[in-house]
Structure formats: structure tokens, C-alpha cells
Structure 1
Amino acid sequence: MIYYKTEAEIALMRESALLVSKTLAHIAGLLKPGITTLSLDKVIGEFIRDHQAEPTFLNYKGYPFNSCISVNDVVVHGFPDKNELQEGDIISVDIGTYKNGFHGDHAYTFAIGNPGEDVMKLIRVTKESLYKGIEKAIAGNRIGDIAYAIQEHTEKKHGYGVVRELVGHGLGKMLHEDPQVPNYGRRGTGQVLREGLVLAIEPMINMGKKDVYTEEDGWTVRTVDHKPSVHFEHDVCVRKGKADILSDYSIIEAAEKNNPNLFTKA
């Protein structure tokens, strides 16, 4: 079942999405070598509650943390822990908020120090692919148009591995709604996009092979070759002519550039 949102509901969803963006921007200012992801998770939970919302991920299907924090070869769903972040690590922070009856859900990948040219290129290309997909999120197109745009830019143009087991999704009163939004596929296939459909579009791109595995904790997903993986995600409303991005990377990027511990040059 696909749920199309009214203008009033989209306005509420924008509030939830922007709170995720503000939380990610706050975290961007704190990242540095030596900090633990568990301490970041605590800050995330407090920041969301201080803004009259709830962390979506906490206790979602048994997930035990406020956020998913995935380091280096962890694709998604990484458990925050007491290990200290190191110079050269890349870290994907994925956050969900629940406010006014609707969810926000998006992610951003940061580089702590300089991880090297190859990894920075992977970060840049993955982020570019997110916007390539968003360009196709307009009324009259199909899900396959979004999927193809992401795959073409990452896998076909640059030879990266596009994860198959994990996909984007619809978003609304539930965290995961129909339809699924793969990061691979054929143009002109899949669900027709209509105005009012809100999607979480989220390329998960590996430097090496596309293959992944899930650890014994039932959540943490890693690349099989242990090469780095990058994850970006925006909340997007389908419109006529041009997609409406409900989340805001500009405040995250500003905080990222103001933190001398983060590397932003591609």
C-alpha cells in the first residue's frame, strides 16, 4: 500500500526531516579522532528529545540504539560502541526522528582526517549519485528511473559495487513504507511516481565488490572484502517538474567545513 501525503502532511514531514538534518549538523561539529560512537549516540538521543521528538531507531524491531553509526567497511546499521574513531576513518551517521506523527530519516558520511584520494572519490561519487537519483523523482517517472540513475553513475561509470540487499523506501507515518527504492535497475520500470509520494533515497555504494554480509548481532552489515562503503540519504517528496528535498544538507556541510578534524576536499 502506497500512501500519498497531503500538503499539510508534507509540511509536518519537512519538520521531522529538518530535525534529522539539524542533528547531523550538530554531530558534524563534534566529530574528531578519539571520540567514541557510543558517546555520539548519546548526544543524538538527547538532541532529538530536546527538540520535542523521539529517536525513531531506538527499539525499532529491537534495535538498541538511537542511531546507526557505520565506520569504514560497515555499510549500514552499525552499532555505536566504545571504540575510538581514528584519523582516516569514514563514518556514516544514519538518524531517524519521529515528530508530529511522521518520521524523518536520512544519513551522511563524514571523513575524519584524510582517508586518501580513493576514499574521498567514493564519498564524492556516492553523494553525486544521490542527487542524480533525486533528479528523477518527479511525477510521471518510475522507480526504475531513480535506480538506474544511481547505478549508472556509481557502478557503470566508476566501477563501484552497488549493494543489492538494502534499498531506499517510502517514508511517512511509518519508517518503512512502500515502495522500495533500489539503487540499481532499469529505466522505465517499477512503480509510477505520483505527487505526494515521500521517499528516502539512499545509495549505499562499496569501493569494491557489491556483496555484503550481516554480523551475528543481526544488524551490522559489512562489505565481504572489507573495503570501505559510503552511505548518503535524503528525504524527498515527488513533485511535477522537480523533486522537493525535505531534508537539508547545507547546514551539515557548513558544520563539516567548520570542523578542522573533518576532511572535505574531493
Structure 2
Amino acid sequence: MGFRDRGIEIKTPEQIDKMRVAGLLVGQTLELLRSSVRPGLTTGELDAIAEDNIRSAGGVPSFKGYSHPPFPATICASVNDQVVHGIPGGRTLESGDVLSIDCGAIVDGWHGDAAITVAVGEVRPEVAELMEVTEESLWRGLAAARLGGRVSDIGHAVESYVRSRGDYGILEDYTGHGIGTQMHQPPNVPNVGRPGRGPKLVRGLALAVEPMVTLGSAETDLDDDEWTVVTSDGSWAAHFEHTFTLTPEGAWVLTALDGGEQRLRELGVPFGGRRD
């Protein structure tokens, strides 16, 4: 069975360049939000900042109106025990909170998707470590991807790093995904599993990798709003995500402002993108 038979979208280099434009807008929006986070701000105010920035640059928010029930906002804003898909609104951020922000944008029909977790003021040491472990696991997953490898190589690297750092919960019911002309496409990109499985990593495949890690159990519940995913045991969570692709030269992180060059080189992985 071929890639197209399985619904996997393979892009031309020119189409990947268009995805880079969308990815940069997402990355720039997340950096703006990171610098805006402070105690006393509401998640709804952050959402307004994000929407204005995306639309001012000629983009369209990927999330707004997505699926059913339609997601009502530009970003997902998930606080503390909310893992993903939190709906922004009147919740006021307090010092010591941890906020996961997921953002997507469409430019010229192509999607970018990324997420960060931000400390609101000073957070507990174990929460700061959770954030560091989750972000590093994302980069370990990206660094494990090679042309000719398999999708599960990514999740295996994510899981191996997280397990090496402590007794954390890694969500299995929510995964990364293919991305391109739609925000969510095949294949799924799990954050756990054995290497050497799943679709082959080929040039033109774009993936969103997004580990979601908790201080406790990996079990989750869905809030009454039918969107917000919370930990079943009330433990706090972190979420990081990047959209990336592979070129003959190496990995190119489309939503990282520098294309991922610094972190990939630190991990001994060739950088496969251009310097914008």
C-alpha cells in the first residue's frame, strides 16, 4: 500500500517552503505569547493577542471553528492539570501556575502547529523540571528522525528520554500527527513505543511531534466543555510541540524561529533547513 493510499500527504520542496511561512508565524506568535504571560492576565486576553498577531500577518487561526463542537478560540490555553485543548476565557493566571499554549495558523492554505509550556512567575521545582523534561523529550524525538527510518523511532526516543528522567506519565491517547493542507493528517505520531515501526520517514512528509507529560498518571478525563483534557489524578502537565520535516541534509523544524538549528546541532544532528 502506498503513502497516498494511506492518506499520507507528501509535499514538494516548494510546498514545504510554504509550510515554513506558516510555521514561522506560529513560532513568532508563541514567542509573543510567552513574553506576554504574567499573573493577572486572563487566558482570553492571551487568545486575543494571538488572533490579532496571526490575522495581522495575513494568516488564519487553524483552531478557531475546528471540529465539533467547533473550537471557539485561536489558541488552546491549558492551566496546571489541564493537559491540552483548554478553552481560553475569563480564567486569570496566578503566580505559580503553569500554562500550556497550543497554536496553529494557516497561510496560503498550509498549516503550522506548535506548543509551549510557560511558567507564570515562580513555579515549584518539580514543575520546572517537568517542563524541562517534556521540552527536551520533544527535541530527542526530532533528533531521532532520519530519512528511511520509521515514525515510531520518534516516539521511542521521546519515551526513552522521559523514562530516564523519572516516574512521569506520558499520554498515549493523544498523539502527534501529519500536517500540511490540513492540520491533522495521517500518520499518528505516538510518544511511546518500539522503534522501527509505522510509516517510513521520507522526504516531503511533515509531522507535528507533541509530547504531553504529567507529574502523575497518564490517565485523563474530558471536561464538560467537550474539549479540555485534564489529568484524572489532578497532577500537573506540560506540553511542547513542533512541526518538522526531513530534507536530504537533515531535519528542519518549521515552527522554530531558527529552524531548530541550534538544538539539533547540540544533539549532534545535521540541520536540514535554510537560515531565514
TM (norm. structure 2) is 0.88
For the Cα contact (< 8 Å) 1:71–1:89, is it kept in 2?
Answer: yes
The match for 1:143 among 151, 159, 162 is: 151
- Give the structure 1 partner of residue 37 of structure 2: 31
- Give the structure 2 partner of residue 8 of structure 1: 14
1:126 to 2:129 alignment:
no
- Give the structure 2 partner of residue 187 of structure 1: 195
| Structure 2 spans left out of the alignment, 5+ residues | 1-6, 260-276
- Give the structure 1 partner of residue 65 of structure 2: 59
Q: State the AA in 1 paired with 2:182.
A: M
- Give the structure 1 partner of residue 206 of structure 2: 198
Which aligned pairs between 1:151-170 and structure 2 lie closer than 5 A? Answer: 151-170=159-178
For the Cα contact (< 8 Å) 1:138–1:240, is it kept in 2?
Answer: no
Kindly provide the CA deviation profile for residues 172-226 of structure 1, in whole angstroms up to 9, marking residues without a partner as x.
Answer: 0000011100000101111111111100000001111111111111100001111
- Give the structure 2 partner of residue 101 of structure 1: 109
Q: State the AA in 1 paired with 2:227.
A: W
Query: 1:105 & 1:183 partners in 2: Cα distance?
Result: 17
Query: 2:136 & 2:197 partners in 1: Cα distance?
Result: 22
Which aligned pairs between 1:210-249 and structure 2 lie closer than 5 A? Answer: 210-240=218-248, 242-248=250-256
Query: 2:232 & 2:164 partners in 1: Cα distance?
Result: 20
Query: 2:23 & 2:228 partners in 1: Cα distance?
Result: 24
Kindly provide the CA deviation profile for residues 93-129 of structure 1, in whole angstroms up to 9, marking residues without a partner as x.
Answer: 1111011110111101000111111011110011110
**In the TM superposition, what is the alpha-carbon distance from 1:145 to its structure 2 partner?**
0.7
CA RMSD in angstroms comes to 1.3
Q: State the AA in 2 paired with 1:44.
A: A
The answer to which of 24-33 and 179-188 deviates more is: 24-33
Query: 1:156 & 1:213 partners in 2: Cα distance?
Result: 26
For the Cα contact (< 8 Å) 1:155–1:161, is it kept in 2?
Answer: no
Query: 1:64 & 1:207 partners in 2: Cα distance?
Result: 29
For the Cα contact (< 8 Å) 2:133–2:165, is it kept in 1?
Answer: no
| Structure 1 spans left out of the alignment, 5+ residues | 252-266
What is the number of residues matched between the two proteins? 251
Q: State the AA in 2 paired with 1:125.
A: V
Query: In structure 2, the residue corresponding to 1:21 is in which secondary structure?
Result: helix
TM (norm. structure 1) is 0.92
Query: 1:201 & 1:8 partners in 2: Cα distance?
Result: 22
For the Cα contact (< 8 Å) 2:159–2:170, is it kept in 1?
Answer: yes
Kindly provide the CA deviation profile for residues 38-73 of structure 1, in whole angstroms up to 9, marking residues without a partner as x.
Answer: 111111111111000110100001111111000111
Q: State the AA in 1 paired with 2:215.
A: M
Query: 2:190 & 2:236 partners in 1: Cα distance?
Result: 20
Query: 1:229 & 1:125 partners in 2: Cα distance?
Result: 11
The match for 1:40 among 38, 41, 46 is: 46
Q: Which has the higher contact order (CA 8 A, sep 6+)?
A: 1
Query: 2:195 & 2:256 partners in 1: Cα distance?
Result: 27
For the Cα contact (< 8 Å) 2:214–2:238, is it kept in 1?
Answer: yes
Q: 1:238 to 1:250 in 2, by over 3 A?
A: closer
Query: 1:219 & 1:200 partners in 2: Cα distance?
Result: 20
